[in-house]
């Protein structure tokens, strides 16, 4: 059985984490498959946007703790490789020209919470929960912290990673972690609707919008305005007379 299901609906590519018996926990194989699938979708001219979902009752439980027994100081090569793979997965989302919508149901915890907010837009089911419980297990929400701290206010982000308490969909919406909260039965319908709207936007405009959005978020104002000016000039050059 494939760890990752791939389905095209028109210009929308649906990627579904498919380890429901493990609550879609991310082992190395699934992480690698998802990274490759995201890159493949970005290269595919027929794809306009991506929906990331989870099979079964939950979105993603985070890292597969079953692999942790081998990730010890003595196996530093394995530790380094796993950390690099995780970092590259989260870096793939902002680097893609194609927008990604996440459809979050059930539980999205730890690395799963990181995936839930890694997309450009996020739709969350009313009954879902999201959280970073790493400190409760004596570890740190390390790689996923970078994106969280950029999307949520500092006080709220620190509370999430320090206390490790899960929050519900309405709280996630209030914090700006997700765009929509919908009844559980309407989750994929709403996620697909958003993805179809994104896919309908002209490809050059969408690609430049996404690239510029992620660039200016971390730049000083003057440099951000300069990048905006450059993008403005580039888009005008692309327009037909």
Distances (CA, A) of 162 to 147, 155, 157: 15, 10, 8
Residue 73 CB coordination number (10 Å): 6
Distances (CA, A) of 27 to 32, 152, 227: 9, 27, 38
36, 45, 67, 134: which is the annotated catalytic residue? 134
Instruction: Tell me if residue 196 is catalytic.
Output: no
Q: Are 212 and 155 in contact (CB under 8 A)?
A: no
Q: Which long-range contacts (CB under 8 A, 24 or more apart) does 65-74 make?
A: 65/25, 66/25, 66/27, 67/27, 67/28
Residue numbers annotated as active site: 134
């Amino acid at each position: 059985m494939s760890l990752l299901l791939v389905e095209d609906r028109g210009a929308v590519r649906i990627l579904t984490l498919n380890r429901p018996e493990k609550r879609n926990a991310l082992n190395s194989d699934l992480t690698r498959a998802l990274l490759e699938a995201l890159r493949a979708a970005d290269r595919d001219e027929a794809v306009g946007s991506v929906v990331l979902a989870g099979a079964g009752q939950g979105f993603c439980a985070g890292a597969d703790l079953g692999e942790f027994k081998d990730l010890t100081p003595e196996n530093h090569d394995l530790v380094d490789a796993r950390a690099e793979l995780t970092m590259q997965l989260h870096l793939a989302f902002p680097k893609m020209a194609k927008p990604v919508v996440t459809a979050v149901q059930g539980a999205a915890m730890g690395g799963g919470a990181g995936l839930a907010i890694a997309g450009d837009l996020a739709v969350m089911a009313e009954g879902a929960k999201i959280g970073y419980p790493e400190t409760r297990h004596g570890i740190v929400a390390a790689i996923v912290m970078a994106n969280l701290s950029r999307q949520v206010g500092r006080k709220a982000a620190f509370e999430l990673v320090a206390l490790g308490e899960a929050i519900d969909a309405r709280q996630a919406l209030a914090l700006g972690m997700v765009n929509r909260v919908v009844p559980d039965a309407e989750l994929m319908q709403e996620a697909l609707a958003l993805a179809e709207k994104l896919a309908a936007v002209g490809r050059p405009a969408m690609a430049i919008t996404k690239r510029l959005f992620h660039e200016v978020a971390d730049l000083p104002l003057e440099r951000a305005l300069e990048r905006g000016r450059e993008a403005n000039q580039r888009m005008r050059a692309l327009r037909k007379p």
